[in-house]
Amino acid sequence: MEIISSCSQIQQTCMQARQSGRTLALVPTMGYFHDGHLSLMRWAREYCDMLVVSLFVNPAQFGPGEDYQRYPQDLDNDVHAAMEEGVDILFTPARSSLYPDGFSTWVEVQGLSGKLCGLTRPEHFRGVTTVVCKLFNLTCPHKAVFGQKDWQQLIIIKKMTRDLNMPVEIVGRPTVREDDGLAMSSRNAYLDQELRKVAPRVYQGLLMVRGRFESGQDDRLELELELRSYYQRNLPQAEIDYVQIVDSNNLEPQDRVKPGALAAVALKLGQARLIDNILLD
């Protein structure tokens, strides 16, 4: 595995590989790998001739007072794990090479970026789409793989590639969970022992609401209320950011919930802001 930090070197290497007929896949990450990240790499490894994983804690997607400064990192472990997964190139750019002095160009998917997580993190998705666009320009992948845990991010990136005619296919892969149902996340490292014990209730609430939908309840406001009060009763330690049931394609609320809708939640549990979602079908 090659570790490349230079933008010009990664661009040259990837363009040459693409021109010589090799298929390229990119898995963008912020590092501190867990099985969720590794599942994306495994899928991509099967598909492509050259697998590039980027590791960059992107300052542009953190708001003031968020966890940019203390985001967990373990480069040695990540290098080892990426090698085990057969990654060809680990791209580890420095902040100053992606955002040099004077940087002033932003890519923003309007509309979708202001919903759900965008309500309390107004500049988050602008930071995500800008860095992902830059990563696509640097690595020219045929496919790029993202996790469905970050459902909103996934559909925003799909929309960006459609709107801007980017020659890359976006692949979404299922959420990988701990044995007790907690969605894997680098931010789970912020949970202390007590909070870690109750954190699976985030997903249990989503399973509960899916069960209610399956047994015939399709009133969105009622389902949202039931989920909210589930968390108030079973996870009183959590501060609820949002509990929403929306159309999974455009994140718009539906009065009558239809199969294929998405129940999505964000809760603050101690220092960790946890997000999770489930499709209702």
> By CB under 6 A, which span of 65-73, 183-191, 225-233, 265-273 interacts with ligand AMP?
183-191
Contacts (Cβ under 8 Å, ≥6 apart) of 211 = none
Give 119-173 as a DSSP string: HH-TTHHHHHHHHHHHHHHHH--SEEEEEGGGHHHHHHHHHHHHHTT-S-EEEEE
Taking the complex as a whole, the smallest distance from the CB of residue 82 to ligand AMP amounts, in Å, to 13
CB closer to ligand AMP, 99 vs 226: 99
By CB under 6 A, name the one of 130, 139, 152, 185 that touches ligand AMP.
185
- 170 contacts: CB under 8 Å, gap ≥ 6: 143, 144, 146, 154, 157, 158, 161
Rounded Cα distance between 227 and 223, Å, is 6
Q: Which amino acid is at 141?
A: P
Give the nearest distance from C-beta 133 to ligand AMP in angstroms: 15
Find out whether 103 and 12 touch, Cβ atoms under 8 Å: no
For ligand AMP, the binding residues in 122-181 under the rule CB under 6 A are 146-147, 149-150, 173, 175-176
Min separation Cβ 227 and ligand AMP, Å: 20
How many Å separate Cα 244 from the centre of its chain?
A: 18
Asked if 56 touches ligand AMP (CB under 6 A), the answer is no
Question: Catalytic positions, please?
Answer: 37
CB of 233 to ligand AMP, least distance (A): 26
- The smaller minimum CB distance to ligand AMP, of residues 140 and 176, is found at 176
Among 89, 183, 208, 269, binds ligand AMP (CB under 6 A): 183
Q: Using CB under 6 A as the criterion, which residues of the chain lie in contact with ligand AMP when the complex forms?
A: 29-30, 36-37, 39-40, 146-147, 149-150, 173, 175-176, 183-186
